[in-house]
Amino acid sequence: LQEERPMKKIIDSLKKYDDFLLVSHLSPDGDTLGSTAALFLALKQLGKRAVAAVDGAVPDKLRFLNDYCEFCSPEVLSKEEFECAVAIDVADIPRLGRLKDAFLASEHTLVIDHHPTNTEFGEYNLIDCKASTGEVVMEIIDSMGAKIDDRIANCLYAAVSTDTGNFIYSSVTEETLKNAARLRGCGADIPRLAAMIYSERSLGATKIIGRGIDSLSLFSNGRIAALSISKKDIEECGAKREDTDSLINYAREIKGVEIAIFVNELSGGRAKVSLRSNEYADVAEFAKRFGGGGHVHAAGYTDNGSVEEIRNRAVEYAA
């Protein structure tokens, strides 16, 4: 019953209001963008007004989402006050980036997420720790009385697939696979989506893999692996920031590694740190110590300093 209450509040709000701002998280990934686009299409189906927004670019591999849903950047958001703002896959207020003000200025605020570290910053918060926010949104769309057509199915499939490492993480349950099967039945174009998301790679994206691997080192008898990418690496390889998203897997997949650390330089003397663990380490706790969050086996935070300093600090903490 406790879980039903937030679901009911969210459904009531989505049915009752008519003018929505849907917000994805900073450094957007497939789960946040796919889930947002799916909810956008479902609200449109019910004849509502909705605007989707994100602080950051839609990665090339997810460009098909742009055909379904325009993602506004914070500076072109046409108005500041919406009847209802919905944050999707956003664990805390800093993850809204420059959309924080527009979100908080809205008359009503909803949070739909699956991160156990979610700070419940909305008026109503539906935090359901499924493998992806896509599955939470799928349940919402059903309860709203919208139909999962082929476009919504493509969005949700992209969300579920990307947040589960294409269905291999320990977060994958029987329900996750049943949901994926249902999306296939609703028209998700799996071969096309898989090619776009996982195989089609630019030259720059290919070269940056080499840079990442070159920077790899092991610590604590091979229990910790760290790698890093600087802005200069990205520039020299002709890569984009989004091309570095899966580099951490090369650290995580080394036999014997428990904690993988990836330091990705941002502007202004800061860097984004991604963390992964294989079996027993709780990297969500680790990330929280540095002001971030996430899941037990996948988490992240932003730190200040040079890439070297940030990397040393993270390795030291992990050891």
Q: How far is the CB of 241 from Mn ion (least distance, A)?
A: 18
Q: How far is the CB of 32 from ligand 5GP (least distance, A)?
A: 8
Q: Please say which residue, 71 or 301, places its beta carbon nearer to ligand 5GP.
A: 301
Distance of CA 147 to the CA centre of its chain: 24
Nearby residues of 76 by Cβ (< 8 Å), 6 or more positions away:
none
Tell me the C-alpha distance between 113 and 134, whole Å: 9
Nearby residues of 114 by Cβ (< 8 Å), 6 or more positions away:
89, 127, 128, 129, 130, 131, 132, 133, 135, 136
Q: Could you please report the per-residue DSSP string of 2-48?
A: TTHHHHHHHHHHHHH--EEEEEPPSS--HHHHHHHHHHHHHHHHTT-
Q: How far is the CB of 274 from ligand 5GP (least distance, A)?
A: 3
Under rule CB under 6 A, residue 293 binds ligand 5GP: yes
Q: With both helix axes pointing from N to C terminus, report the angle between 150-163 and 133-144 in degrees, rounded to the nearest 10.
A: 150
Task: By CB under 6 A, name the one of 294, 307, 311, 314 that touches ligand 5GP.
Answer: 294
Under rule CB under 6 A, residue 132 binds ligand 5GP: no
Largest CA distance in the chain: 59
Q: Nearest 5 degrees, angle CA 19-CA 22-CA 24?
A: 170
Under rule CB under 6 A, residue 300 binds ligand 5GP: yes
Map residues 125-144 to x or -, x wherever contact with Mn ion holds by CB under 5 A.
--------x-----------
Q: Please say which residue, 59 or 293, places its beta carbon nearer to ligand 5GP.
A: 293
Of the ranges 49-57, 202-210, 226-234, 289-297, which one interacts with ligand 5GP (CB under 6 A)?
Answer: 289-297
SS3 227: strand
Q: Please say which residue, 227 or 299, places its beta carbon nearer to ligand 5GP.
A: 299
Tell me the C-alpha distance between 171 and 146, whole Å: 27
Q: CB–CB of 156/31 below 8 Å?
A: no
Q: How far is the CB of 95 from Mn ion (least distance, A)?
A: 11
Map residues 17-56 to x or -, x wherever contact with ligand 5GP holds by CB under 6 A.
----------x-----------------------------
Handedness of CA 47, 49, 55, 61 (dihedral sign): positive
| Interacting partner of 302 out of ligand 5GP, Mn ion, none (Cβ under 5 to 8 A depending on kind) | ligand 5GP
Of the ranges 10-18, 99-107, 152-160, 299-307, which one interacts with ligand 5GP (CB under 6 A)?
Answer: 299-307
Under rule CB under 6 A, residue 274 binds ligand 5GP: yes
Of the ranges 10-18, 28-36, 56-64, 272-280, which one interacts with Mn ion (CB under 5 A)?
Answer: 28-36
C-alpha distances in Å from residue 280, one per residue of 283, 297, 311, 314: 9, 9, 21, 18
Q: Please say which residue, 42 or 90, places its beta carbon nearer to ligand 5GP.
A: 90
Under rule CB under 6 A, residue 136 binds ligand 5GP: no
Distance of CA 15 to the CA centre of its chain: 26
Helix (H) or strand (E) holding 285: helix 283-289
Q: Please say which residue, 117 or 228, places its beta carbon nearer to ligand 5GP.
A: 117
Catalog residues that contact ligand 5GP under the rule CB under 6 A.
Answer: 27, 91-92, 95, 115, 117, 274, 292-295, 298-302
